[in-house]
Amino acid sequence: MSVVTAAALGLPEEREDPGKLGIWLFLLSEVLLFGGFFAAYVMTRWGSPVCALGAPAWPEGAARSALYPALLNTLVLITSSYTVVRALCAAQRGDRAGFRREMGVTVALGVCFLAVKGFEYALKFHHGLTPGGEFALANPGFRVFFSFYFLMTGLHGLHVAVGLAWNALLLGSRDASPERFARKVEYAALYWHFVDVVWVFLFPLFYLI
């Protein structure tokens, strides 16, 4: 029995994209990584009388100084998700100038996020809001909270830095194939969206609950 192929019928052949499968598998592993930390954080605060979920985690007076930078960073990352989509659309159209403009804005917003986070960390250390600070020594619940805070936001910040480096490399890419270049941008955009989604979960857990 003869097999009729798409090529024999004059139709374009659809090829599998191993790169897209690879990036989705990688993101799945990242979901498992952050998911484990989220589960440990929630269960620790839920099951511990010293840091019960729903109880104020920040010392009074320091809560507002922590919330405002976090709100700014939330706005920054949401905006960067929009600009990275525009960068991908430009790459798919073969518009390199448009891509560089939109991806440049995305990179700038990512740098802004890390700068604000660095400022927030500096405030924490200045006020002694660390696992070994005076508030943590006076209240074991604060020690648990600050330990998870620095671990999870620090890990997220590392992922933002990786995404920034990836996007910056694409800005300097000289790939002559528009189709191949658009696929590379798509992989980077998927990763960047993942970073944004993680922050959407980090923000309420550490700043609102």
Average of pLDDT values for 181-201? 95
Structurally, the chain folds into a number of domains equal to: 1
Average of pLDDT values for 88-92? 95
Domain membership of residue 32 (yes or no) is no
Structural domain including 185 reads 64-207
Positive or negative, the CA dihedral 7, 12, 14, 17 is positive
- Residue 161 vs residues 31, 153, 155, 175: alpha-carbon distances, Å: 18, 12, 10, 23
Residue 192 — pLDDT band, cuts 50, 70, 90? very high
Domain membership of residue 104 (yes or no) is yes
Domain membership of residue 23 (yes or no) is no
Are 149 and 129 in contact by the 8 Å Cβ rule? The answer is no
Domain membership of residue 49 (yes or no) is no
Domain membership of residue 27 (yes or no) is no
pLDDT number for residue 16: 62
* 10 vs 145 pLDDT, higher one: 145
- The string of pLDDT tens digits covering residues 23-79 is 999 999 999 999 999 999 888 888 777 777 666 666 665 666 688 899 999 999 999
Residue 95 — pLDDT band, cuts 50, 70, 90? very high
Are 172 and 8 in contact by the 8 Å Cβ rule? The answer is no
Domain membership of residue 39 (yes or no) is no
Q: How far apart are CA 183 and CA 186, in angstroms?
A: 5
Domain membership of residue 21 (yes or no) is no
pLDDT at 119 over 70: yes
- The string of pLDDT tens digits covering residues 126-145 is 888 888 888 777 777 788 88
pTM: 0.86
**In the structure, how many helices (H) and strands (E) does the chain have?**
6, 0
- 109: domain CATH number is 1.20.120.80
Positive or negative, the CA dihedral 30, 198, 182, 163 is negative
Q: How far apart are CA 175 and CA 158, in angstroms?
A: 27
pLDDT number for residue 127: 82
Positive or negative, the CA dihedral 201, 202, 207, 209 is positive
